[in-house]
Structure 1
């Protein structure tokens, strides 16, 4: 005879003796002290972590006070955790000879993790153009996956904001500026390094990004042989010749060998060049005033010498 009794599901033992408050508390994010060796860098992390003066200062702070703001990480399927935010704090902890650092562990998919990783770094003042370029590219891909599908150069609307505008909003960059930065990722590494080093300005670099990779490599040779970097107008002409199929190494050398009007009109000194001739207390304005006075005195002396 079959039993008519219904199966009774028993609640877990812990649930029987826990309060609603403790159950809610268990859902809150916890700060954990995780060994540095178990924290791995984010895949294709676009931001450089350098052992520069700022890093040494951060390491000194960590050595004295510890890491004050917890990092964010997510479980790594291969073991340990993947850092989402806190790569510089991780390196500073290594330099400070710490064994662990405070971390908030979250279950994040690739897109959510990418957006947090990018946004947590975009507020830094000393970002290189290459860092911003690859960060914007990664974030735009993530935003695309979360919303409507489109390509990198599209300005398809997502709600009231365009997709590229969404990417640059927190950093104060327009969608158009975001797209211009993303174009820089099409430069070969050697040219992109020159942009980071301020040897090539952003606007010429944007135009050069439309050159084929082999043309960019040839341009490096032309720049080296002529000891010059392209101005905006030169970069635009190089792009035009490339699009028309007429860009050759000879054309590049001819363009790079031109004497720029700006070179004829002005002489520029960097503050680093001038600083060694003045006391540390001198401001740039005071240095300029002093130079003008010295030049005026030199001119008067030269005139007197000519009159004799």
Structure 2
């Protein structure tokens, strides 16, 4: 390992480096050979060689790595906790090593830090947030966080997501990879994916195969029906095909201008987030109407 002027430092303003409010953090600042770095186990965030990566590579070539990564010791080198994109940029830039801060972190603390330093990135896929939130949720519970709702609220703090939104994402993590990919590409809405996540794994496989074969993907309403059929033990390959090819509502269709819808949401909201809000509001409206009907029947 190349150890150039390694010194133990106490970061009194850790927030300046990593955007957190955690201070009084001890670590060793040094440079580590790229060959000694290893990815975080089950790292949920994709590291793509895209246009943004090329921009990072050019920055590394011109200015070096300005913000060090965070690593922790492992059996044969160091596990990268934060800085996977910088690590890849150094590789593409032909750098032999990378500046890092070495910290002694247990699995739970490392997981929370890994998620928190990545979760505010732009354009995260639903699958990335789903897996990341699940990892952080489990880590916090293992650390002794009290109450599911409280823990979900804490998980979403860094990204500004509510506990309910966090729980929806965590449900998505129960989808098989194929269905989760369809959520990522927008072929299946997030709320539909959430409902499909309650299906058994073999049932999810059948749904994915049927959808891919006929090119029809479950709508939120159809996903809800599939969930009910699964709970009643009536879900089969035949019933899945029959439901997907059946035209929903055979009555009039309603088209709403996407521009008009956009006016109601912050510019930063993604298509998936907008859909989630709309379907949630429609669910609430439907439940309210059903409640009114039931109340009218009461003597």
TM over 0.5: yes
Provide the rounded CA distance (Å) in 2 between the counterparts of 1:264 and 1:61: 54
In the TM superposition, what is the alpha-carbon distance from 1:263 to its structure 2 partner? 11
Instruction: Find the counterpart in structure 1 of residue 125 from structure 2.
Output: 128
- Is the 8 Å Cα contact of residues 69 and 100 (structure 2) preserved in structure 1? yes
Change (3 A) 1:47 1:264: farther
Q: Deviations over 1:31-51 (max 9, x none)?
A: 211111111111111111111
Query: Where does 1:241-280 land on structure 2 (aligned, <5 Å)?
Result: 241-260=229-248, 265=253
Structure 1 position 64 matched with structure 2 position 62? yes
Name 2:143's counterpart in structure 1. Answer: 146
Query: Deviation at 1:261?
Result: 5.5
Tell me which structure has the larger Cα radius of gyration.
1
Q: Give the length in aligned residue pairs.
A: 239
**Are 1:224 and 2:212 an aligned pair?**
yes
In structure 2, C-alpha distance between the alignment counterparts of 1:36 and 1:141, rounded to whole Å: 30
Give the RMSD, CA atoms, in angstroms: 2.7
SS in 2 for 1:186: coil
Q: C-alpha distance in 1, partners of 2:26/2:52?
A: 34
What is the CA–CA distance in structure 2 between the aligned matches of 1:242 and 1:116, rounded to whole Å? 38
Distance 2:126 2:250 in 1: 24
Partner of 2:43: 45
Whether the aligned pair in 1 keeps the contact of 2:206 and 2:237 (CA below 8 Å) is yes
Normalising by structure 2, report the TM-score: 0.74
Task: State how far apart, in whole Å, the 2-side matches of 1:102 and 1:24 are.
Answer: 14
Q: What TM-score comes out, normalization by structure 1 length?
A: 0.72
Counterpart of 2:112? 115
Name 1:13's counterpart in structure 2: none
2:98 is aligned to: 101
Equivalent in the alignment of 1:296: none
In the alignment, the residues of structure 2 paired with residue 167 and residue 262 of structure 1 have an alpha-carbon distance, to the nearest angstrom, of: 42
User: Per the alignment, do residues 23 and 144 of structure 1 end up closer, same or farther by CA in structure 2, a change over 3 Å counting?
Assistant: closer
Return 5+ residue gaps in structure 2 as ranges: 1-6, 12-24, 259-299
Which position in structure 2 is the counterpart of 1:55? 53
Alignment partner, residue 75 of structure 1: 73
